[in-house]
Amino acid sequence: MPTEIKTLARNWNRILTKFSETREQQRQLANDLAHELRTPLSMIYGFLQRTQQRSDNLNRFQKESLDMAVEEAERMIELLQNWLELTRSQENAMPLPMEIVSLNKLLKEMAQMTQKFEQRLILLEIPSSEICIEVEPNQLMQALNHLLENAMQYSNPSQPIKIKLTVVDNMAVVEVIDRGCGISISEQARIFDPFYRVDTSRARETGGAGLGLSLVKRSVEKMGGKISVRSELGQGSTFILKFPIVGGHR
């Protein structure tokens, strides 16, 4: 190999090593910051809540400011918790305690619960034959719950949400379908990145920090599944989960 190429390859390797070291340092710094901020923030939240409970002698403006401060503190705590959860799941190589789960049953329960507590119409389309997959049920429920919450948040309350279960090429396919605002093709590639929000003002109103989908992706992949999205602006979005089925399709 000519010396120039060898030098170039060596320099390239050096740059890549430096780059990954810097990324690791940044990640560590963000992690340490989240840990450091959590305790004082929880204390501030506690003080604010106690003041809020004894706010009878405050005027309307003071009460409103206090309510806002409590809300913002809540949002910050949730953000830090999600961030720590995300980094923990990145570091934690421990396998999850997996169980064989009937998707028909789990989806039926989730649809009933969501319909009851969120007062939103949930249409369920599942086959009569039982479809089983191997997952950690709580993690799967959390992931589905987040997809359902997003579907409800980013669509009109009068629109139903559909949950559909099918089998394609020995994979169980769960789709969460909404007829909401949709996501453009260019944004679709980024929504699974931590802290990515399509429209910061819209997401801020709905309270999200842009960490939810990255957590969902990580936990789905950890359980051997895949997540993808199909969406059209103004038409709605479909989030698709795929898991290998267990024991064949009966």
Residues found near ligand ADP in the complex (CB under 6 A): 150-151, 154, 178, 180-181, 183, 191, 196-199, 203, 208-213, 237
Cα separation, 105 vs 172, whole angstroms: 14
To ligand ADP, the closest distance from the beta carbon of 203 in angstroms equals 4
To ligand ADP, the closest distance from the beta carbon of 170 in angstroms equals 27
Structure tokens at 120: 């939103």
Cα separation, 31 vs 213, whole angstroms: 19
What is the Cβ-side half-sphere exposure of residue 189, based on CA atoms within 13 angstroms? 2
To ligand ADP, the closest distance from the beta carbon of 236 in angstroms equals 7
Q: Which is nearer to ligand ADP, 82 or 104 (CB)?
A: 82
- Residue type present at position 156: N
Report yes or no: 172 and 103 within 8 Å, Cβ to Cβ.
yes
Q: Which residue is nearest to ligand ADP (CB)?
A: 208
Pseudo-torsion of CA 163, 193, 191, 39, nearest 10°?
A: 80
To ligand ADP, the closest distance from the beta carbon of 45 in angstroms equals 20
Residue 171 bridge partners (DSSP): 168, 244
Q: Which is nearer to ligand ADP, 113 or 209 (CB)?
A: 209
DSSP per-residue string spanning 130-148 = --EEEE-HHHHHHHHHHHH
To ligand ADP, the closest distance from the beta carbon of 184 in angstroms equals 10
Q: Which is nearer to ligand ADP, 43 or 233 (CB)?
A: 233
Q: Which is nearer to ligand ADP, 79 or 133 (CB)?
A: 79
Q: Which is nearer to ligand ADP, 165 or 227 (CB)?
A: 227
To ligand ADP, the closest distance from the beta carbon of 130 in angstroms equals 28
Cα separation, 170 vs 224, whole angstroms: 14
DSSP H helices in 92-135: 103-118
Q: Which is nearer to ligand ADP, 173 or 183 (CB)?
A: 183
Residue 94 DSSP code: P
Residue 173 bridge partners (DSSP): 166, 242
To ligand ADP, the closest distance from the beta carbon of 209 in angstroms equals 5
